[in-house]
Structure 1
Amino acid sequence: MIHVYDDIISRLDDNNTEELLRTHSDDVGSRMPVLSSYSSDGSLDSTVILRCEGYLHDFGKVTPHFQRYVRCAYVEEKQLTYHARLGAFAVFHALEWMGASERDCLVGMLAVLKHHGRLPDAAERLTKIVKAERNDDGYVVQQVDDIDENAQNRAVANELLREGSNGSASWESFKTAIDDGTLFATIIELASESGHREGTEEPAPEQLPPKLYDRVLHHWSVLTLADKTSAAAIKDRDLRPSHLELTDLEEHIHTLREDLDDPPPLEPDTTTSSLPLDLTDETALNQLREGVRRLVKDNAEQFVSSSANVATLTLPTGLGKTFTGITAAYTIRNALDHTELSTETRPRVVYALPYTSIIEQTRDIFESEDILNADPYGLAFTVHHYLSDTVSYPKIEGEYDGDQTANSEGFFDPALLGESWRSGTTLTTFVQLFESLTAPTNANGLKLPSLTNSVIILDEPQTLPKQWWEAIRRLTTLLVERYDANIISMTATQPSLFTHAPEIETMSLLGGSDSDTPPLVDTCFEAVERVEYNVDESVHSFEAGSDDLLSIDAAADRLFGAATTPMNRSVTEDDDGSSVLSVCNTVASTQELTEAVNERATTAGRPVARIGEAYQDALQVCSPPVNDNDPSPSSRPNPDAVAEQTLYELGFRPLDTDASVPLAKQQWRLRATTEPSTLYVGTFTSRLRSRDRRAIVTIANVLARAGVPFVFVSTQAVEAGVDISFARVYRDLAPLDSVVQAAGRCNRSFEWGHSAGQVTVWALAGPEGTSRPPATCVYKPKKLLSKVAAILGDRCRKRDSAALPESDLTRRAIPAFYDWIERQDLEDRTLVERIESCHAEQLQYASLIDDEYAKYDVIVAETAFERALLNTMVDSFASKDKHSRYDLLTAMADLRVSVPVSDIETIQSQVHRIDRKSFDAEGINVLACTVVSERSPYDLAAGGFIVTDDDGLAGRFTFH
């Protein structure tokens, strides 16, 4: 006879205090309906189903073996301590006896089966465990017998089943269903194809109920969050968000417009000829920006009552898209029916961007004291990506009293609230959003309940990989139908991602449906034409299949000539040169082109000042001294302070010292003692630490308007959402939406006049000794680039000119490009097929980052202070101070770089694990690099942490 305990418990807390299983079950069962307001279309109300799942999820803990295990007694047969499988069978039985549909029974079973892990391939897993139990290879039958032999365990099991099923099921009914095999037979019949005899059944995912994956994902994620927050002793009220208010944004806009009258009202049918504004005037443009924002606000209210599920916002660079998008999202949030929702439980807003490299700029808008004044550690706003600090603290006096040891499963971790997206607004990435909908890890699934009734902004969705488009449509349908989410697709080049999907109805926030684009859209694009496109001969060569592409040396010569020639309409009359941005497709071509520009300048007798080298010196100057006390992350210099010091190092001085003007917008000029013929050269990739990226973008912004010869060579890390402006932009051949994104970095705020920016599209040849162009290393299949070249060639032939107006490319060439994409077989059907067949285990390998390289995160310490900080963190991993080490790890997130494993293998002696374990050991797979010599792999002048010539996606973007 197994030892029997009087109390059947769920866990012991850190003080060895027992928590009754019934107490935990009741708490989780009560939480689940609160965390999900979705109503099932099955035979039972979803509240009843969710409560049943929550109440019985730990049913397996009632076994005598688990009761020994939880009290730290030795148990020889480990399998008999497992609790999820028994709980899963109990939930299926309870729901079946309550009259739930077959689908809801399967949903409950699968959710409980993996509530401590990842979701499985449904049919395969269900068939396997049932066959195991039938063949005596399982352990559930033994667990049931053990419970039945012990009166106390049996009594609690009966109580749980009756309470969880509203009195429908009991221990007797459950044991009978196990003993006679009827429960096993029902389940295997739903998930498998019958064999000639019992035990030969094969999984049959095609027999599963439709959209089972959607429902399982939803219930599993709600159960996971309810269970973890209950175990962490987080109060229900602390799971509710607070909110940023639209009125704060509008007060800021009102302050900016205090000398302006209200803008004339706009209508969807407004044309350029009927627009009563002088669009060459900045004041008139501000009127147009505000007029558009107000129109979008009005239409956002109408969207809530419309039948559309996706709202589109198509606006060109320069018309305040971010402010307008936030206005739309908060308006929709406020307009949603709150009959059963208090202010605290209003829908959340999720703002998703393509890359971590551009999040900080948008974050500034939310956190600026003058705009939304968001507290990044509060419950109104959270930034969440793989490098972010996602701590959210409950704003309740004395609630936790600084003692975060409230549960047996570890410390109360404030990051749990941030990573669960419980804040009113979450700023995140596409990877965090969409990969969390495709078989997420247990931790990543915590965020999904917060999507219920949410408003989701997809900023620049055209950057999503074309292979994922069909899957994105399917996941969008999941968000709309299962979570009742409202989607805003916001971009300058609205892709056919949603507008060509018959299952998704769209509505333009500028008025009308997307099948009938309102004239106002064209009017906005024509009103803010910033650039003219020039199509280089090398693009026509690519179209013709010729190898006569533009060499790196020839491109460098062109860049040098453009930088040393002032624009016809310069920022100031005494400009000595012009600012030039060259966007390359690979890290290798970026580095090679940078060196070629330097050599060209040297040959011409011009001195070269490399931005990265000056920044490196400024970083050392601004770094605080290392003292005997433990260094504090808060003592590190602000990136703007380092940027300002860099400008002084480069020989510039500010024309004004107005502290209210952001450094990136200030005017600086060369000091009289500085050599005026100097060519300034910068290199920018995603292999820079995010802290350095932020500062270098600020420096480049100032130099671009300083009237000096300036060449900035970058990967695509610069082109989406980075607020930077150059007089001329050169873009290596790429999909048209990427070309337009790069053009968004040219004449961004009309610094050089209306339509005065120059954007050149060229096709670069591969490095010397290779025949493969850099563009083909990145964009596949090759026919994608061939079509781009053909479209550009066709537009040039129709106009009989190599020059194309901006509106011609954005309003004619881009739609033709998307129409062509829709006719091609570029999408990956496998993802959708796995969703439909509930193959969750297979889905876990899907990634938006189509990267052949595994990666390490490397913390790079460049200064003595950063090295001291890093050493303190490494030392803390050897101690028992859990909070200190993870706090430091979080605080140093902006010093991290993602580096392919193949690169790390070549410099293994220069890096080490922060926990000092071997590379293949369990633990924290974050590396540290503190090399202080010319051998350091981190080179600010060359673009960051670059060891080998990596042409993969990881060398271009940081997605997470």
Structure 2
Amino acid sequence: MRCAHINPSIAKEQSVKEHLYSVAELAKEFSSKISLAATGELMGMLHDMGKGTRKFDAYIRYCAQNPQDKSLKGQVNHSTAGAKLIYDSFYNTADRLQKFTAQLISLAVCSHHGGLIDCLDLRGRDKYTERMKPDEDILYDEALNYFRSECLETNQLKDLFAKAAEEIKAVITHINQLNSSAGQCWFAYGVLEKYLFSCLIDADRYDTYLFMENKARKEKVNKYALWAELAGILEAKLSSYPQESKINGLRAEISLACRNFARNGSGVYQLAVPTGSGKTLSSLRYALNHAQECDKDRIFYIIPYTTIIDQNAREIKNILGHEEMILEHHSNLIVADDEEEVVNYKLLTERWDSPIILTTMVQFLNTLFNGGTQDVRRLHHLANSVIIFDEIQAIPIKCISMFNSALSFLAGVCQATIILCTATQPLLETTEIPLKLSENPNIISDVYEKFRQFKRVDVIPKLVTGGYSAAALKDFILDRMDQFNSLLVVLNTKNSAREVFNELKAANQGLPEEKQCQVFHLSTNMCPAHRLKALQAMKEQLGCGKVICVSTQLIEAGVNISFECLVRSLAGLDSIAQAAGRCNRHGEKERGDVYIVNLEREDVSKLVDIKKGQECTERVLRDFEDNPESFDRDLLSPQAMARYYKYYFYERRTQMNYNLKGDNRGKSLYEVLAGNKEAAEAFHSRNGRPADLMLKQAFKTAGQEFQAIDENTTGILAPYEEGRDLITLINGECSLGELKRYLKKAQHYSVNLYETDRRKLEQMKGLVWLKDKTILALREGFYDEQMGVNLDRKPLDFCGV
């Protein structure tokens, strides 16, 4: 017997044959969701063929007896043998289908330990063929003899490959029918490769996990019964909501329309509804009923910001219960008080194997486009699911082409149902690489009428030449406060918010007592616990006294709060519409006032999205002034938003393919993941012949280059309330279990800082390392009770940390 794994805790061995058959069964199951059962089975049978040697058997036994010795890790190449068998047996042929099938399978098999390799790298070097003809001794003949005698005979291999080729033929035919250009087809073939790779990775890792943990496979949930139960719970909850007011009645109409639309088949649809119309629960109502109607496996909520995940997850869990069925997955979440919980959470987040999953746009994009093996492992679970994108307009502009093509694959090939939710629908179907919407894609059929009925604000441009100073904007705000009891100011930068807040705070102190306001500040320089406390204090004060809140954009999405008046710094019309959703949100009065202003010192030169948005909004404002009837006399109407996106997407049309930088300037990630033409031309130029490859994508390079958001941030623990105690506790003597509990709490007292701010604090000696330089904390004196992280404070003399 050749050994694949050894479980030292129970002294049990798993043979190579057992592992291959188990992985083949799992991969077959996963791949069958897109009718590629034989393809998945064959990948599983081949993936660890290289373990069938005496050398690997000795290696695995040595590692089990010497767990502390990591020196031999990775020195035995066992992932190439199975790929080479397919390559040698089926690749060298004039039959393009056979060649294509062989490359799909062999590429997944040879890459299953380090991530998909490049077929051609960006310099035009043939990495695929190089991998299929390794220079090193992989003991191929010995591994092949073991495989043929113990696992799969030659005739069985040929039969299984023939079935796989027929499956691939059907999928390719379908892809070709779905796409209108060769480039889009090749991109889709690349996504197909990633899907198969995901099936293999998850099958391999999951079978290994079950054996090493001595666990049986988790019982499958009766999804139909679960969806029926959860839909019933939600229906009962919705029926208990009051509907007397006009706004609540309109929300009920939208919710009912979502329920009725759930009977339609799988596709790509839009839920275009005004802000404050209850789209979270309406889309959940749709998803639960559609999942039951169309036998879907899971429901995904893809959300742009981690702060909204917390709120939406709480709302959904409070209504549905069944918390064990709902997974929150985002990078900031630290869980578990014991090791088993850590392992279980890690497994769930790597697999996305829960009926309802709430995650971020960053995690979704990483699953599709990041390199390595951890993120892509989740991809196959998107098949046959309901995927709801909340605030779809937040998709990074550079990712639009790749996003559109990937969604078209998920809907067209994987039978996923895609719902694009927002009040400000971007025109994704009009771009160079368009998203293919279903016929009659609008869940709400009378979109224009619903926006008219939901109209709760008047948008009033108040732009001035040169822009307002902080002092002038303060005067403008206080003038409005003679008419209103509450006013929200939303600005584009933290510096602007700080300056205007300080102006208002100082002026407020000099007002007569009857005119004085409670002045609040919100920004991402405040930790979540601080922001939550400020929001709660605001909500308690609203309706009881005069309130002004000065905030950055963080308040625009996922915050259920209502002010009588809004002042919004000039931005994209989509952002202005989102901010307007915090004004007269529940229709407390006939109309709320939304003023658009400009600031003289608000520097957005490095914030390209905001700057371009400002320019396009100004064009719409001019168009509106010339012909308001064409916009239904409403700057937040669907017509106005369509005009805005027409301008915005045209302005940024050259940036949607994910342009690369540095040495790869002039190339796009979309092309690298499609035909990779420049690399193919470089190969031809160097070798005098075309590359003998079907797939030419540079998968590894693309995975390394991909970054969903441009700027990385670092979490800094802040000395705010309980955060002070946590800094002391984490830096003191504590057990591993205690440290995990402290870190779980610390997420509520942490601030994510960009590199420039972090470096500034380091120069000011405002940061200190905790726990052997594993956690960064902010020193006392650098956190303000109103402003959060203070980047202007001079260092003081400190005691303690």
- Tell me if TM exceeds 0.5: yes
Q: What is the Cα deviation at residue 817 of structure 1?
A: 1.1
Partner of 2:418: 487
How far apart in 2 are the matches of 1:451 and 1:511? 22
Report whether the alignment pairs 1:112 with 2:109. Answer: yes
Give the match's secondary structure for 1:856: strand
Cα distance between partner residues in 1 of 2:535 and 2:706:
32
Q: Which of 356, 360, 367 in structure 2 is aligned with 1:429?
A: 360
Whether the aligned pair in 1 keeps the contact of 2:187 and 2:670 (CA below 8 Å) is no
Aligned match of 2:776: 928
- From the two aligned structures, give the one with the greater helix fraction: 2
User: Aligned match of 1:748 in 572, 585, 604?
Assistant: 585
Output the CA distance in 2 between the equivalents of 1:892 and 1:806.
Answer: 48
| 8 Å Cα contact 1:899/1:945 also seen in 2 | no
2:20 and 2:328 map into 1 onto residues whose CA distance is 32
Distance 1:875 1:87 in 2: 51
Contact 1:246 1:327 in 2 (8 A): yes
Task: Give the drift of 1:536.
Answer: 0.8
Residue in 2 that maps onto 1:372:
320
Q: What is the CA–CA distance in structure 1 between the aligned matches of 2:245 and 2:508, rounded to whole Å? A: 40
- Say whether residues 1:363 and 2:310 are aligned partners: no
Question: Within the alignment, does 1:723 sit opposite 2:560 as a pair?
Answer: yes
Equivalent residue in structure 2 for 1:256, among 228, 241, 244: 241
Q: CA offsets per residue over residues 631-654 of structure 1, 9 Å max, x none? A: xxxxxxxxxxxxxxxxxxxxxxxx
Are 2:730 and 1:785 equivalent residues in the alignment?
Answer: no
Name the CA distance, whole Å, in 2 between partners of 1:295 and 1:887: 44
Task: Note closer, same or farther for the CA distance 1:841–1:688 as it changes in structure 2 (3 Å cut).
Answer: farther
Residue number in structure 2 paired with 1:524: 450
Equivalents in 1 of 2:349, 2:449: separation in Å?
A: 41
1:335 and 2:293 correspond: yes
Q: 2:723, 2:463 → 1: CA distance?
A: 48
Per-residue CA deviation, residues 786-830 of structure 1 (Å, 9 max, x unaligned), is 231121133134459xxx987343233211112223433253322
| Residues 152-551 of structure 1 aligned to structure 2 (within 5 Å) | 155-159=145-149, 162=152, 166-168=156-158, 211-233=188-210, 235-238=216-219, 243=226, 245-257=230-242, 282-304=244-266, 309-336=267-294, 338=295, 346-368=296-318, 371-375=319-323, 378=324, 380-388=325-333, 404=340, 412-498=343-429, 504-507=436-439, 518=445, 520-538=446-464, 541=465, 548-551=466-469
Distance 1:798 1:600, change over 3 A: farther
Deviation at 1:120, TM superposition (A): 2.8
Question: Structure 2 CA distance, aligned partners of 1:703 and 1:782?
Answer: 34
Cα deviation, residue 713, structure 1: 1.1
1:163–1:362 Cα change, 3 Å: farther
SS of the residue corresponding to residue 424 of structure 2 reads coil
Q: Could you tell me which of 694, 702, 709 is aligned with 1:843?
A: 702
Residues 83 and 132, structure 2, Cα contact 8 Å, conserved in 1: no
Cα distance, 1:850–1:209 mapped onto 2, change above 3 Å: closer
CA distance in 2, matches of 1:456, 1:160: 42
Q: Which has the greater radius of gyration?
A: 1
Give the aligned residue type for 1:734.
Answer: A
Contact 1:387 1:894 in 2 (8 A): no
Letter in 2 for 1:474: S
- 1:8 to 1:96, Cα distance in 2 relative to 1, 3 A: farther
Residue of 40, 44, 54 corresponding to 1:50: 40
Q: Give the one of 52, 55, 66 matched to 1:65.
A: 55
The answer to whether the 8 Å contact 1:88/1:109 transfers is yes
**Residue 108 of structure 2 aligns to which amino acid in structure 1?**
A
Quote the offset at 1:164 in angstroms: 9.4
In the other structure, the counterpart of 2:76 is 81
**What is the CA-CA distance between 1:847 and the residue it aligns to?**
2.7
User: How far apart are the structure 1 equivalents of 2:425 and 2:74?
Assistant: 54
Q: How far apart are 1:212 and its partner, in Å?
A: 3.0
Equivalent residues in 2 for 1:745-894, closer than 5 Å: 745-751=582-588, 753-755=589-591, 757-766=592-601, 773-780=602-609, 782=611, 784-798=613-627, 807-824=634-651, 825-829=653-657, 830-837=668-675, 838-844=697-703, 845-851=705-711, 854-863=712-721, 866-869=723-726, 872-873=729-730, 881=736, 885-886=739-740, 888-894=742-748
User: 1:384–1:390: 8 Å Cα contact kept in structure 2?
Assistant: no
Instruction: Give the whole-Å Cα distance in 1 for the aligned partners of 2:372 and 2:728.
Output: 31
1:582-620 alpha-carbon deviations (Å, 9 max, x no partner): 111111111111112123224x346xxxxxxxxxxxxxx
Corresponding residue pairs, total: 718
Is the 8 Å Cα contact of residues 532 and 805 (structure 1) preserved in structure 2?
no
Measure the CA separation in 2 of the matches of 1:209 and 1:166: 31
**What percentage of aligned pairs have identical amino acids?**
23
- The 1-side partners of 2:246 and 2:517 are apart by 36
1:907 aligns with 2:745: no
**2:691 alignment counterpart:** none
Please report how far the alpha carbon of residue 488 of structure 1 lies from its aligned counterpart in structure 2 after TM superposition: 0.4
> Which residue number in structure 2 is paired with residue 638 of structure 1?
none
Q: How many Å apart are 1:888 and its aligned residue?
A: 4.7
Question: Does the CA-based 8 Å contact 1:366-1:374 persist in structure 2?
Answer: no
Kindly tell me: are residues 450 and 95 of structure 1, through their superposed partners in 2, closer, same or farther at Cα, counting changes over 3 Å?
Answer: farther
User: 2:348 and 2:237 mapped to 1: Cα distance?
Assistant: 29
> 1:941 corresponds to which letter in structure 2?
Q
Decide whether aligned partners of structure 1 residues 403 and 817 sit closer, same or farther in structure 2, where only a CA change above 3 A counts: closer
1:897 corresponds in structure 2 to 751
Deviation per CA, 1:191-234, whole angstroms, max 9, x where unpaired? xxxxxxxxxxxxxx999966331122111112221122212115
Deviation of the 1:566 alpha carbon = 3.8
Question: Cα offset for 1:503?
Answer: 5.4
Cα displacement (A) at 1:303 = 4.2
**Structure 1 residue runs without a partner (length 5+):** 1-5, 41-45, 171-204, 261-281, 339-345, 394-401, 406-410, 513-517, 542-547, 568-577, 607-674, 767-772, 918-925, 950-960
CA positional deviation for 1:718: 0.9
Contact preservation (8 Å) 2:717, 2:723: no
Q: Which moved more, 1:683-692 or 1:906-915?
A: 906-915
Q: In structure 2, what is the equivalent of residue 770 of structure 1?
A: none
Shift of 1:694: 2.8
Shift of 1:111: 1.6
Describe the shift of the 1:475–1:7 C-alpha distance in structure 2 as closer, same or farther (beyond 3 A): closer
**What letter is aligned with 1:156?**
Y
Matched, 1:941 2:769: no
Task: Specify the code of the residue in structure 2 equivalent to 1:23.
Answer: E
> Structure 1 residues 210 and 532, CA, compared in 2 at 3 Å: closer, same or farther?
closer
| 3-state DSSP of counterpart to 1:413 | helix
Residues 1:558 and 2:418 are matched in the alignment: no
SS of residue in 2 equivalent to 1:498: helix
Residue 742 of structure 1: how far off its partner (Å)? 0.8
Write the letter of the residue equivalent to 1:787: C
Match of 2:138 among 116, 122, 143: 143
Question: Is residue 518–residue 548 contact of structure 2 (8 Å, CA) maintained in 1?
Answer: yes
The one-letter code sitting in structure 1 at the alignment partner of 2:114 is G
User: How far apart, in 2, do the equivalents of 1:549 and 1:860 lie?
Assistant: 35
Give the residue type in structure 1 aligned to 2:45. Y
Q: How far apart are the structure 1 equivalents of 2:262 and 2:246? A: 24
Q: CA deviation at 1:889?
A: 3.2
SS of the residue corresponding to residue 333 of structure 2 reads coil
Q: Taking structure 1 as reference, are residues 522 and 356 closer, same or farther at Cα in structure 2, changes over 3 Å only?
A: same
| 2:488–2:551 CA contact under 8 A, matched in 1 | yes
User: Letter of the aligned partner of 1:600 in structure 2?
Assistant: A
Q: Distance in 1 between matches of 2:352 and 2:132?
A: 39
Structure 1's 835 and 28: CA in aligned 2 closer, same or farther, altered over 3 A?
same
SS in 2 for 1:121: coil
Distance 1:97 1:846, change over 3 A: closer
What does 1:727-742 align with in structure 2 at a 5 Å threshold? 727-742=564-579
Matched, 1:586 2:483: no
Counterpart of 1:640?
none
1:33 to 28, 34, 48: 28
